[in-house]
Structure 1
Amino acid sequence: MDGIYFYWIGWGAWVIATFFMAKTKSRMYTAIVILVTIALSITELRIFGYEVSAAFVFSVIIGYFLLSKLAFLKLLYYFITCIILAFAYVSFSLFALYDPVWVIFDYSLMLATTLVVLTLFLVKDQYLRVVSLTVGAIQGEVVYSVVLHSIYYQKPIGTLAFFDMLAIAIIFTYLWYSFELFVEYTDSYFKKKQRKKDVVING
């Protein structure tokens, strides 16, 4: 059922943001964005002849707003990053459409994994990973829908299936980020232990 991953992950993220994050403005904004996105997911708009999810439009606004706050050179880099991610999204989706045999696992899972691997390779900061991934996927979804529309097949933009994929991808980035923190902590712990041992030996 489309939307099941999005709703479960979305509500889970909202609970974490609301009850477990430090009481800052960032926590409040995060909780509001998640809640509004979930609320708008059931509403559709008609824009330039396309059926577009209101949650998708909201995500576009938030994504570009967050990118616009970056310094010019950073903005340029992440703009290119988002284009690469969008290209990957469109390429994968078109291959899956015209030759579905090679999609051996769940489509959303494979697409999410592809985008996450590229994001991890191109972006080091976790916050910017989420923003770049979201904007790249959004741009890819728009281009893919326009391409399908040009061959007389109208695909709604920003369906629940899209948000399923995006939610899975974002969770993957946080899992990897948790692994990075674990490795960093373990490395720091053993280095500190080694330094103490060296002090004792050198007396």
Structure 2
Amino acid sequence: MEGVIFYWLFWLLWIYSTFLMKKGKERLKVSIWLLLTMIFSIHSLQFFHLHISFSSLFILMTVYYLIGKLDRWQGIYTFISSLIMLLSYMIFYLFELYDPVWVLFNRCLMLSFLLVSLAVLLHKELKLRLLAIISGAAQGDFLYGIYLRKFSIVYPIGMPAFLDVLALSITILLGINGLKKLSLTIENHLKHLEKEKQKLS
């Protein structure tokens, strides 16, 4: 059932951001953003024969604002990387549309791993990786909906299938970042133990 992955993962992320993140403005902003995205996901509007969810509009406005706050060159690079994500998202869906046989397993997993792989290759910072994936996927879903409209196919933009991909991609990225931090902590701890042994000897 489409949308289940989105609600489960976003609720888990909301619990983490609300109760486990360090206190501060950042925690409040993340918690509010997650909650509003879930609330807006059940509402949609019709615009020029396109069915668009409020959550996709909210997501796009948020990432455009955050990209706009980056310094000039960082913003340009993030915008370019989001275009790469957009094209990857579109091409994946077009391949699936014209030749669905090549989708070997779960579409949501395949697309999420593709987007995360590109984000890891293109950016070093977690924040920029998240911005590139979110903006690229949201814009890609918009363009895909507009493309299908030319063939009189109604494609609801920003609906559960898109939100599942987005939620899974964000969770995978956060998981990678968490494992990286854990490995660094273990490495530092081992180095500290090694130094202690050398002092004792």
| Counterpart for residue 130 of structure 1 | 130
1:152 match: secondary structure: coil
Matched letter for residue 109 of structure 2: L
TM-score (norm 2): 0.94
Counting matched residue pairs gives 201
| Counterpart for residue 27 of structure 2 | 27
Separation in 1, partners of 2:188, 2:151: 56
Deviation, 1:148, is 1.4
Deviation, 1:141, is 0.8
Separation in 2, partners of 1:136, 1:148: 18
**More displaced, 139-148 or 186-195?**
186-195
Which whole-Å deviations, capped at 9, do the CAs of 1:5-54 have from their partners, x for residues lacking one? 11111111111111222221111111111111111111011223211001
**More displaced, 81-90 or 15-24?**
15-24
Q: Is the 8 A contact 2:78 2:131 kept in 1?
A: no
Deviation, 1:200, is 5.0
| 2:181 equivalent to 1:181 | yes
Matched letter for residue 57 of structure 2: V
| Counterpart for residue 167 of structure 1 | 167
2:172 match: secondary structure: helix
Deviation, 1:178, is 1.3
2:46 match: secondary structure: strand
| Counterpart for residue 97 of structure 2 | 97
| Counterpart for residue 139 of structure 2 | 139
Which whole-Å deviations, capped at 9, do the CAs of 1:148-182 have from their partners, x for residues lacking one? 12233221110111101110111110111111112
1:136 match: secondary structure: helix
2:22 match: secondary structure: coil
| Counterpart for residue 80 of structure 1 | 80
1:2 match: secondary structure: coil
Deviation, 1:197, is 4.1
Matched letter for residue 158 of structure 1: G
1:154 match: secondary structure: coil
TM-score (norm 1): 0.93
Separation in 1, partners of 2:198, 2:121: 36
Separation in 1, partners of 2:34, 2:198: 49
Separation in 2, partners of 1:96, 1:46: 26
Deviation, 1:190, is 2.8
Q: Which runs of 5+ in 1 are unaligned?
A: none
Considering only aligned residues, what root-mean-square deviation do their CA atoms show, in Å? 1.4
| 2:155 equivalent to 1:151 | no
| Counterpart for residue 11 of structure 1 | 11
Deviation, 1:193, is 3.2
Q: How much identity, in percent, do the aligned residues show?
A: 34
| 2:191 equivalent to 1:191 | yes
Separation in 2, partners of 1:24, 1:182: 23
Q: Which runs of 5+ in 2 are unaligned?
A: none
Alignment of 1:60-79 (within 5 A): 60-79=60-79
